Each structure stands twice: as C-alpha cells, then as structure tokens.
Amino acid sequence: MVIGMCVIKNSLGQSQEMVKSIVKEGDTVIDATAGNGHDTVFLARLVGEGGKVYSFDIQERAIQNTKKKLEEHQLEKRVVLIRDGHQNMDRYAAGNIRAVMFNLGYLPGGDHTIGTRWETTLEAVKKAMDLIMVNGIVSIVIYYGGDSGFEEKEHVMEFLKGIDCRKYTVMKTDFINQINCPPIFVGIEKFK
C-alpha cells in the first residue's frame, strides 16, 4: 500500500487531493459517508467558517464518532450531521454543491455487514451528479473483495461507463501491480 511521503497517493489520498484542488472557503459540500469522520473534518477545514458540510450516515455510531471528531477540532458549527441514507441527499441540499465525497464500504471498527449497497449508492451518485455545480466533483472510493465483495464495485463501474460524456468526465485509478484488490478512486467532473 502506498502511504506517507510517496508521490503516488492511494485512493483515499487521491480523492482528497482532487477535492482539495477545487473546494474554496465559503463552499457547500457533502460527505455522503461520514463513518468515523475523517473526510467530514477534512471538508470542514476546506470550506472555512463561512462554508457548510452536509454529512450523512445511516448508523448512529458513525454520526456520534463524527460529532466527537468535529468537536475535538472545533469544527462542528460548519457541519450538518444527518442520520439518513445518502440516497436522500436532495431532501437536505438544494444544489450549487462544489463537491460530494463517497467512501464506500463498512464502518472501520464497526459491523462489517452494514456497508453501502449498490442500489442506494447508485441512487445517491446520480443525485450527487445533479446537485454539483459546473466544474464540481463527485469523488468515490470503492472497496471490493474481502468483506465488501464485488457486487457493488461491478454495478458502480457499469453505471460509470455509461455516463453521458457530453456533460461529465469520469476517471478512475488503476494500480496495476498491486495485490489484494486495492481500492479504486473515481472522480466525476461536471462540465456542462
């Protein structure tokens, strides 16, 4: 696994790098999978005091872990924590979103059977693609193999290949010499 000072970042690092390159102070962004709150804290720092992060998770434990982490860094005022599925994100956010981050799979340290599911993931990714502004980004880190299985990855990749190339650019990483199903980073940019 590639970590630390390496130039080529792992998928998590690549997703953060892409998001960081576009998010400005005052922006509104979404963390679609709060989990233990690492991405929510990352986003809250990027949007600054005048910005807003909507952060979703279906598990109370994840919401509490994220809340605690935000309080430790005194970032809680910039974040709306929502215990609901990301497939309902359009009920909370009205549009003009600069970036939406997905980190699929199960809660690290939690119940491995409560992971993201391809049906709701696809619903949420489509909504995220609508909600982002032009030049906004949807970033997705996809875990597969092991406890995550292959089903979600296969459905998501199939959907991504069919996205209208007149409106969105879609890229994915391919770590071609790694073993054990390295997570995949996908970036979707809206240009129209």
Beta strand pairing call for 97-103 and 28-31: parallel
If binding is defined by CB under 6 A, does position 85 make contact with ligand SAM?
Answer: yes
Q: Which residues contact 192 (CB under 8 A, 6 or more apart)?
A: 134, 166, 167
Q: At what angle do helices 38-47 and 11-22 cross, to 10 degrees?
A: 20
Q: Evaluate whether 44 touches 68 at the Cβ level (below 8 Å).
A: no
If binding is defined by CB under 6 A, does position 59 make contact with ligand SAM?
Answer: yes
Q: How far is the CB of 9 from ligand SAM (least distance, A)?
A: 15
If binding is defined by CB under 6 A, does position 105 make contact with ligand SAM?
Answer: yes
If binding is defined by CB under 6 A, does position 155 make contact with ligand SAM?
Answer: no
If binding is defined by CB under 6 A, does position 64 make contact with ligand SAM?
Answer: no
Q: How far is the CB of 34 from ligand SAM (least distance, A)?
A: 6
By CB under 6 A, what part of segment 16-55 binds ligand SAM?
33, 35-39
Q: How many CB atoms lie within 10 A of CB 90?
A: 15
| Candidate residues 92, 114, 158, 178; the one interacting with ligand SAM per rule CB under 6 A | 114
